[in-house]
Amino acid sequence: MANSKLNNLNKVKIMTVSALLSALGILIPMTFPSIRLEPASYTLASHVPIFLAMFISPLTAAFVAAVTTFGFFVAGFPIVIVLRALSHLIFSLTGAFILKKKNQLLTSFKNNALFNFAVSLIHAAAEVAVVTYFYRVSGMSSAYYEKGYFFSVFILVGIGTLIHSMIDFSIAVTVWLPLQHIISIPANAKIKIK
């Protein structure tokens, strides 16, 4: 009976944290300033809630990524941005499943940096795939075509997303370091930078 109450309490805590991270995931892109390198733009910390969710569990990562995508849709963002947000399911679930199997992976600076790069590379590749589809099939704003496919898609979206993702991951790690000792919910990631 005591284990059942503890499990239910943990589920409620995880749902609450998931809802808070989802709200942040919607609020940050709508309120934080963006760096605009036309035709692309980058909002600092916009991926932090998804990375934090990834540190908790695959289900939390999927929920936060999906709700954040829905938030972009409801807020009226262009469909290419909504689908770029939907592609976050790929990197967040991949990272969350890896951390679930190897929860000590982020306990060294080297492993942390390698994991950050790998997840950010997956993130960038997924967004490049989405933008490539729209560039080739559905049409993009004229700014994408003026700069050319290689520069607009591979440099601005690909390399830009890789760098943006790595910065946001680093912010998430910085936030998670003290939180992991305060938040009393089961989580995948144990982070301790040596």
Mean pLDDT of the chain: 87
CATH fold of 2-182: Arp2/3 complex 21 kDa subunit ARPC3 (1.10.1760)
Partnered with residue 37 across adjacent β-strands are 40
Terminal alpha carbon distance of the chain: 40
Has residue 1 got a pLDDT over 60? no
Bond from prior residue into 39 cis (ω within 30 degrees of 0) = yes
pLDDT tens for 131-168 read 888 888 866 777 777 778 888 889 999 999 999 999 99
Q: How far is CA 19 from CA 56, 68, 128, 156, in A?
A: 13, 10, 28, 31
**Model pLDDT, residue 153:** 87
Position 194 scores a pLDDT of: 57
Q: Which amino acid is at 157?
A: V
The whole-number pLDDT of residue 43 equals 85
DSSP for 84-134?
A: HHHTHHHHHHHHHHHHHH-TTGGGSHHHHHHHHHHHHHHHHHHHHHHHHHI
Amino acid 158: pLDDT: 95
Q: Any idea where the domains of the chain sit in the sequence?
A: 2-182
pLDDT of the residue at 2:
59
Amino acid residing at 158: G
pLDDT band, very low/low/confident/very high, at 65 (cuts 50, 70, 90)? very high
Q: Which residues pair with 40 in a beta bridge?
A: 37
Tell which residue, 105, 91, 94, 116, has the closest CA to residue 167.
116
The whole-angstrom separation of Cα 69 and Cα 101 is 26
Q: Using the predicted structure, report yes or no on whether residue 6 has a pLDDT greater than 60.
A: no
Instruction: Report d(CA 67, CA 25) in Å as an integer.
Output: 8
3-state secondary structure 29-91: HHHCCEEEECCEEEECCCCHHHHHHHHHCHHHHHHHHHHHHHHHHHCCCCHHHHHHHHCHHHH
Residue-wise pLDDT tens digits, 91-105: 999 999 999 998 888
How confident is the model over 41-55, as pLDDT tens digits? 788 899 999 999 999
